[in-house]
A and B are shown apart, each in its own frame.
Chain A
Amino acid sequence: MKPLVPVSTGARIVLGAGFFVVFVAFWGAATWSGWVPPLFLASPERTLLAGWSLLTEFGFAGDIAITVFRVVGGFLIAAAAGVPLGLMMGAFKPVEAFFEPFISFARYLPASAFIPLLILWAGVGEAQKLSVIFIGSFFQVVIMVALIAGATRMDLVEAAYTLGARSRGILRRVIIPAAAPQVMETLRLVLGWAWTYVIVAELIGATSGIGHMIMDSQRLLDTGQMIFGIVVIGVIGLVTDFLFKALNRRLFPWAVL
């Protein structure tokens, strides 16, 4: 192995899949040998069976759909509001001076700590779930987008000025396109975090969703179902991450991502 030398696509897939195999093997070894009792950890095949029954008998697909809806909904609202504000803050320093201190403060407020308050304000419906995700994502998006936009290459801005651009043109035709690929990367990361908020929101005061199912299973001490729920979240995360990356490559062929 030499530092920083890239690996071929084939080798990457084999290596990446390899660790999943190793992981499941250890999991299997720990449970089949009886080293960890099924009360604490279900074996891989019992987890799959539990998942099968969840999907076929208990309408788990509906739970998955509602959770995906909450994550994507809350995330989209946060992005739609956060990206423009972040861009304006990055581009215009007075706007940044106005919002930045408050947003830096707000971003350390843990979204989960708002859940009891939000239940009080919004009940236990969808508005409350979306709010949790919004609070968890919005401030992060704003701060990171402001940072990206503020770091636009000054020489490109100056070149645009000498070509006759004014403030509006600088923002629309330099700052935004220059920031776009990194903004999308930021959104990809924040979407990942949104998944952790939604589950927390569903653990408390929910009647549907993956988090609610995990909570229910705990009451029945069904570790198979709990693990299956967690694995489903991981798989969805993996798929969205992959789609996001593919989208970025299509949108920004000029950048070396």
Chain B
Amino acid sequence: MSRKRLAITGVTRSFAGHRGAAPMLALRPIDLMVEPGEFVAILGPSGCGKSTLLRIVAGLDQPTGGTVTLDGVPVTAPGPDRGMVFQSYTLFPWLTVAQNIRFGLAERGVPEAEQQAIAARFIARTGLTGFENHWPRQLSGGMQQRCALARALANDPEILLLDEPFGALDHQTRELMQELLLEIWDADRKTVLFVTHDIDEAIFLANRVVVMSARPGRIKAEVPVSLPYPRDWTMKTTPAFATLKARLMGEIREEVRKAAMA
């Protein structure tokens, strides 16, 4: 269970222009409060600055203006309290599945026996039993992202930052992964910031969906999702789900068109 409150206040980000061109504004002031244990989905068209926002929260990128605080403490650098799963595959190719999962623990000097116990627990939870000693290149995309999730979780972070972790997977695999993620989240209710451009995915997972505008991104709407947990795939066929979906589609269509024209 997470205890810390994430506050994003007036965060902006502009990138220096190429060869004297005007700077490019990627994020307009973003204000977002995330309560401990919340599952917030950030929904937005491609290029609207979702990854940029997540990277700023992770401490991998610095905002041009504004602040990010975790329980009042400003975020200035990456740290193990904010675990991240990236849009691309980022397992260390020279480490086995189990060694990848233990990376953060080893870095913090956790005793060997404890490392093994924790790794074993998350291997089981992410359904990777039997693949402990495989190299990343021997895994399917879905397994690699599950392993990346286990690697982030093994560190017991306050917040999980997930940047379209299932974006590169096929539809069926993605649905299975969503259910697995919910199961894991339900077990210890960590704060999750989940970036996606898939409306169904956002509704199915989150208890709040934040819609971002086309670039330069700003928060256009916040839609609470009051569907009860635990959720399973049958939820996607309920009228309540359809109503939310219709509303979010309305919000996002316009932005996607703007992004496509830009």
User: Knowing A174-B92, A254-B93 touch, does A162 contact B82 (C-beta < 8 A)?
Assistant: yes
Count A-B pairs with CB separation below 8 Å: 73
- Count how many chain B residues have C-beta atoms less than 8 Å from C-beta atoms of the other chain: 30
The residues of B with any CB-CB pair to A shorter than 8 Å are 58-60, 77-80, 82-84, 86, 88, 90, 92-95, 103-104, 106-108, 135-137, 148, 151-152, 155, 161
The closest CB in chain A to the CB of B80 belongs to A164
A164, B137: Cβ atoms under 8 Å? no
A162, B94: Cβ atoms under 8 Å? no
Chain A residues closer than 8 Å to B137, beta-carbon distance: 254, 256
The residues of A with any CB-CB pair to B shorter than 8 Å are 155-156, 158-165, 169, 173-174, 177-178, 180, 252-256
A247 CB, min distance to chain B CBs, angstroms: 16
B40 CB, min distance to chain A CBs, angstroms: 18
Chain B residues closer than 8 Å to A155, beta-carbon distance: 86, 88, 90
B92, A162: Cβ atoms under 8 Å? no
A253, B135: Cβ atoms under 8 Å? yes
CA of A256 to CA of B137 in the docked complex: distance in angstroms? 9
CA of A255 to CA of B152 in the docked complex: distance in angstroms? 24
- Cross-chain pairs A/B with CB under 8 angstroms, 19 sampled: A156-B90, A159-B92, A159-B148, A160-B103, A161-B59, A162-B58, A162-B59, A162-B79, A162-B80, A163-B80, A163-B83, A163-B151, A164-B79, A164-B80, A164-B107, A165-B104, A173-B106, A174-B92, A254-B135
A163, B155: Cβ atoms under 8 Å? yes
CA of A151 to CA of B92 in the docked complex: distance in angstroms? 15
A252, B104: Cβ atoms under 8 Å? no
Chain A residues closer than 8 Å to B86, beta-carbon distance: 155, 158-159
The closest CB in chain A to the CB of B58 belongs to A162
The closest CB in chain A to the CB of B136 belongs to A254
The closest CB in chain B to the CB of A176 belongs to B94
Chain A residues closer than 8 Å to B108, beta-carbon distance: 164
Q: B155: which of A158, A164, A173, A174 is its contact (CB, 8 Å)?
A: A164
Other A-B pairs, 20, CB within 8 Å; known A155-B88, A156-B90, A252-B94: A156-B92, A158-B90, A159-B84, A159-B90, A159-B92, A161-B59, A161-B77, A161-B78, A162-B78, A162-B82, A163-B103, A163-B151, A164-B80, A173-B106, A178-B93, A254-B93, A254-B94, A254-B95, A254-B136, A255-B94
Q: B94: which of A159, A165, A177 is its contact (CB, 8 Å)?
A: A177
The closest CB in chain B to the CB of A166 belongs to B107
B104, A255: Cβ atoms under 8 Å? no
B107 CB, min distance to chain A CBs, angstroms: 5
Chain A residues closer than 8 Å to B60, beta-carbon distance: 158, 161-162
Chain B residues closer than 8 Å to A164, beta-carbon distance: 79-80, 104, 107-108, 155
B84, A162: Cβ atoms under 8 Å? yes
CA of A254 to CA of B92 in the docked complex: distance in angstroms? 10
B185 CB, min distance to chain A CBs, angstroms: 18
Chain A residues closer than 8 Å to B78, beta-carbon distance: 158, 161-162
A175 CB, min distance to chain B CBs, angstroms: 11
CA of A124 to CA of B84 in the docked complex: distance in angstroms? 60
Chain A residues closer than 8 Å to B94, beta-carbon distance: 177-178, 180, 252, 254-255
